Each structure stands twice: as structure tokens, then as C-alpha cells.
């Protein structure tokens, strides 16, 4: 079969403008839906007592609300025409789902770091999630409209320029490209941005399994056990559990029975050398961990293992639920949601955790496995000044372009569609501004539902008080 020429691929990208003009991306569409019903739908199947905590974390600000409502934006995006340029997309690429971590070679890189919603979809859906998050966050930080629009233009034009560069790259060049902290420091445009990168490197270096062990666990002379810190961390079968007595997990006798068969299935998804490495570790304890904003109430476990030297390895076992992207954009999908997450992560990231794998739980739920903490770092954007925010927006645009180019092999088509001018970026800026208005309206509707009792919202502090003597 003859491979398409570069000219043919460029023509294919430009042809997508015929049914999806670049100016059309300004619109958010006619949105006649009830955000509360969509939220309730996304809360189904979660640990019942943790759903109020999910809503409590979302209620802090329009931005935390936005973080917890990937389902709403996926619904809304499905109501407007798309480019037809489809590929593996992150599905929830807002600005807090980027972060630093160590590669298997111990290089510090910055990349996308959340793939719960990964699926095949139009490339621009990721950009619309990112750009809307920039405006919502900028408003939360009380920045001007002009600053918010500048952040979006910065991210969108960086995506355009990097995609144009990747369109000139060979397949292996794309596969090996990594955005390391050293490269970030070299390309930083201001001294303050360089200092921020260096501070991040120093901070990440201290975020190891050993440092986590000291904070989370205690040793009784023969075995390590993780300390409860409810509602965020507790033993499923312990005194502080938030599981109801009739929950299928709670009725399983103890933590080793809960994990035994799932762990064996997980090992089969790893390569031989990774299985051999894990054979040097012994399981010590298993706890339930509440994570993030949008994931609160989904099942997430942390397994503490130690090797023969007493060195720890924390493995996170996280529930993989159906992607909101695949719910609203139909495409061929894998039967196992954990496998979907792992495959998507490996395709989109420049380098991935060596312990990525998947398995089904004792009641048939799907899970994926990864290290809990391996020099991981996230940005505290609320402490950023406008210069650092601009640098961060630029970095997010670069990372998303690299991820899309690598995962799809369609940099030529996407770059040809976007073109060299600012029209696409300006359309995304208009979209992000209008969609942020919609987010704030939905947030008000959400708060009213919480105040009326239609939804129960509780803070971490409020729930923690339930466990104090």
C-alpha cells in the first residue's frame, strides 16, 4: 500500500477546514442541559460516603468545580462540529493535569500526568479543555480579561508553532522527544522562570518513596503499617473506614484477600523484567486513598511494599471508569478500562512509569497500577505571578503538541489545518472566554443545589471532625 506524500497529508489537513472552519471554534454552541443531572450521573458507582467530599472539594471555587466536571465539557463539545482530525487525546487536559516526574532513566521531565479520560477524540477537544481552564483559573486569581486572553493566546500559538516543528520530524525523533527540566531551564525566557524550574528540580528530588514512608507509615518491629488520616486515607476494613457494611469490598475478609487475585492478574500485564523486579518486594499494608477533585469517591488503593533492605515501593491501584470522551465521541474502544488508561498514557507521554499495568478487582471493576510517588511535582499556580503563568501556559501548549504529535503521527495534518496565522488561536481565545462564562454559571447552579440540599457537600475538615474523639 502506497504511503501518502507529505503534500497529500497537508492537503488532508487543510481539507478539514471545509467542514470545520477555524473561525467556527469560537462557538460554545447552544447548551440546553442540566449540569446537576450530569454531575449525579458521574457520581454513580462511587463510594457513597465520599460523594459529599467530592462536591465539597468542587465547591471551593469555579476552578475546582471545573476540574471536577470533565463530563460536562465533554457533553458540551459533542454538541458542536469537530475537525474530524481524531487521535488519542488526554480527555482532561486542564492546566493542573500537567506535572513533573522522573523517567525510568531518572531524568526529570514535565508532561501530561492524568489519563483517566484518555480516548480517541478530535485533537481540539484537548485544547479547548486546556484553554478554558486557563481563563477560569485566571479569573479565580483575579487577573484581568486581557491577561486571561493573553495566556490562552500564548498556549495556543505555542501549540501551533511546536506542531509545525513536529511536522518536520521523523517518527523516531517524535518518539524520543522529551521536555526535560534541563531543557525547560535552557529555553526559559526570563531569569524568574529559570529559577522556578531549578526550585522545582530541587523539590522533586526530595519526593521519593523513602520520604513518603517516613510521613505515612510506622514500623512495629516486624511490619510496616500506614497511618489512617480520614477522610483522605483509611483502611478498608479498619475502624475509620468510610465503606458501608454491605459494600462488596467491605464484606471481603481482609486487605490481603482484597488484593491477592488482582495483584496476580496485574503482574501478567508487565514485562518479564518488571515482574522479576517486583518479586524482590513484600507487601506490608493496603489503604484506601482519596485523590484529587474529579476522582473523589472512585476506588483508589495504595499498596506499601518493601524489599529485603527495607526500602519502600508505594503502588497506587486506581479505578478506571469509562472515559467521558468515549461516552460522547464514539470510536472503537478496549474492553478493559485499565488497559485503555495504560495504553493511552504510554502513547501520549514521552516516558512512562515502569510499573504501569492493569487488572480487574474482585467484583469486576477495572483498575490500573502505577507508582504513587516518584519525584512527582505539580505547579502551585496560585503563587505564580503573571510572568510565571505565561511561561506555564506556553509549556502546556508545547507539551500538548508533543503528546498529540507522538500519539497520532498526524502532526503534518494538524499543522496544515491550523496554518501559520493567529486565526485558530484567536478562535480558541474567544471560545475559552465564553466557556468560562458558562462554567461560572454552572458553578452558581451547583452551589444552589448544595445549599438547597439537592446535593450534599462536605469539606475535608468537616469530615475529619467525625473521627476525632
pLDDT in tens, 393-421: 999 999 999 999 999 999 999 999 999 99
Could you give the CA distance from residue 387 to residue 399 in angstroms, rounded to a whole number?
Answer: 19
Q: What span, in angstroms and rounded, lies between the C-alpha atoms of 288 and 258?
A: 12
Lowest mean pLDDT among 16-30, 77-91, 150-164, 180-194: 180-194
344, three cell numbers = 493511552
Phi, psi of 69 (to 5 degrees): -125, 45
Comparing C-alpha atoms, which of 416, 438, 418 is closest to residue 25? 418
pLDDT of the residue at 1? 61
* Residue 318: pLDDT over 60: yes
pLDDT at residue 92, as a whole number: 98
Handedness of CA 60, 61, 64, 69 (dihedral sign): positive
* Predicted local distance difference test score (pLDDT) of residue 310: 94
pLDDT of 100 strictly over 60: yes
Confidence (pLDDT) at 252:
79
Percent of the chain clearing pLDDT 90 (strictly above): 79
Edge-to-edge strands of the sheet including 233-234?
Answer: 233-234, 282-289, 300-306, 312-319, 366-371, 357-360
pLDDT at 86 over 60: yes
What is the residue extent of each domain of the chain? 6-206+377-465, 209-371
Rg from Cα positions in the chain: 22
Residue 62 pLDDT exceeds 70: yes
Q: CA-to-CA distance for 315 and 266, rounded, in angstroms?
A: 12
Could you give the CA distance from residue 36 to residue 58 in angstroms, rounded to a whole number?
13
Which pLDDT does position 316 carry in this prediction? 97
Cβ count within 10 A of residue 461: 9
Mean of per-residue pLDDT scores for the chain: 94
CA 115, 329, 322 angle in degrees (round to 5)? 45
Task: Please give the backbone phi and psi of residue 262, each rounded to the nearest 5 degrees, phi first.
Answer: -65, -40
Q: Is the pLDDT score of 360 beyond 60?
A: yes
**pLDDT at position 106, please?**
86
Backbone angles phi, psi at 363, to 5 degrees: -110, 15
Cα(400)–Cα(112) distance, integer angstroms: 8
Residue 461 pLDDT > 90, yes or no? yes
| pTM, two decimal places | 0.96
Q: What is the pLDDT of residue 204?
A: 84
Amino acid at each position: 500500500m502506497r504511503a501518502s506524500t507529505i503534500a497529500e497529508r497537508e492537503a488532508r489537513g487543510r481539507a478539514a477546514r471545509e467542514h470545520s472552519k477555524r473561525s467556527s471554534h469560537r462557538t460554545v454552541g447552544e447548551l440546553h442541559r442540566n449540569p446537576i443531572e450530569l454531575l449525579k450521573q458521574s457520581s454513580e458507582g462511587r463510594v457513597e460516603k465520599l460523594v459529599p467530599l467530592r462536591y465539597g472539594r468542587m465547591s471551593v471555587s469555579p476552578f475546582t468545580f471545573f476540574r471536577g466536571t470533565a463530563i460536562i465539557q465533554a457533553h458540551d463539545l459533542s454538541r458542536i462540529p469537530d475537525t474530524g482530525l481524531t487521535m488519542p487525546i488526554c480527555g482532561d487536559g486542564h492546566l493542573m493535569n500537567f506535572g513533573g516526574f522522573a523517567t525510568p532513566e531518572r531524568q526529570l521531565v514535565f508532561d501530561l500526568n492524568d489519563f483517566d479520560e484518555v480516548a480517541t477524540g478530535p485533537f481540539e477537544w484537548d485544547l479547548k479543555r486546556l484553554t478554558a481552564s486557563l481563563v477560569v483559573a485566571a479569573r479565580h486569581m483575579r487577573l484581568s480579561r486581557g491577561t486571561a486572553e493573553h495566556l490562552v493566546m500564548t498556549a495556543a500559538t505555542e501549540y501551533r508553532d511546536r506542531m509545525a516543528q513536529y511536522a518536520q520530524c521523523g517518527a523516531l525523533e517524535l518518539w524520543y522527544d522529551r521536555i526535560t527540566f534541563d531543557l525547560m531551564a535552557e529555553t526559559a525566557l526570563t531569569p524568574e522562570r529559570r529559577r522556578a524550574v531549578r526550585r522545582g528540580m530541587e523539590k522533586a528530588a526530595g519526593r521519593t518513596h523513602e520520604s513518603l514512608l517516613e510521613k505515612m507509615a510506622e514500623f512495629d518491629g516486624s511490619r510496616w503499617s500506614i497511618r489512617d488520616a480520614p477522610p483522605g486515607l483509611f483502611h478498608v476494613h479498619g475502624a475509620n473506614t468510610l465503606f458501608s457494611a454491605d459494600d462488596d469490598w467491605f464484606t471481603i475478609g481482609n486487605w490481603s484477600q482484597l488484593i491477592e487475585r488482582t495483584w496476580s492478574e496485574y503482574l501478567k500485564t508487565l514485562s518479564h523484567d518488571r515482574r522479576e523486579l517486583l518479586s524482590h518486594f513484600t507487601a506490608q499494608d493496603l489503604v484506601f486513598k482519596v485523590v484529587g477533585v474529579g476522582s473523589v469517591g472512585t476506588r483508589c488503593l495504595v499498596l506499601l511494599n518493601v524489599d529485603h533492605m527495607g526500602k519502600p515501593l508505594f503502588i497506587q491501584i486506581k479505578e478506571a471508569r469509562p472515559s467521558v470522551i468515549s461516552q460522547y465521541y464514539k470510536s472503537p474502544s478496549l474492553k478493559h478500562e485499565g488497559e485503555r488508561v495504560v495504553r493511552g498514557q504510554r502513547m501520549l507521554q514521552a516516558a512512562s512509569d515502569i510499573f504501569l499495568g492493569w487488572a480487574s478487582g474482585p467484583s469486576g471493576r477495572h483498575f490500573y497500577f502505577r507508582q504513587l510517588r516518584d519525584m512527582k511535582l505539580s505547579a502551585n499556580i496560585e503563587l505564580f505571578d503573571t510572568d510565571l503563568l505565561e511561561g506555564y501556559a506556553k509549556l502546556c501548549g508545547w507539551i500538548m503538541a508533543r503528546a498529540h504529535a507522538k500519539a497520532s503521527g498526524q502532526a503534518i495534518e494538524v499543522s496544515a489545518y491550523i496554518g501559520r496565522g493567529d486565526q485558530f488561536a484567536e478562535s480558541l481565545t474567544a471560545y475559552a472566554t465564553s466557556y468560562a462564562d458558562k462554567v461560572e454559571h454552572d458553578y452558581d447552579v451547583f452551589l444552589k443545589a448544595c445549599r438547597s440540599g439537592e446535593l450534599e457537600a462536605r469539606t475535608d475538615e468537616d469530615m475529619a471532625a467525625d473521627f476525632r474523639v
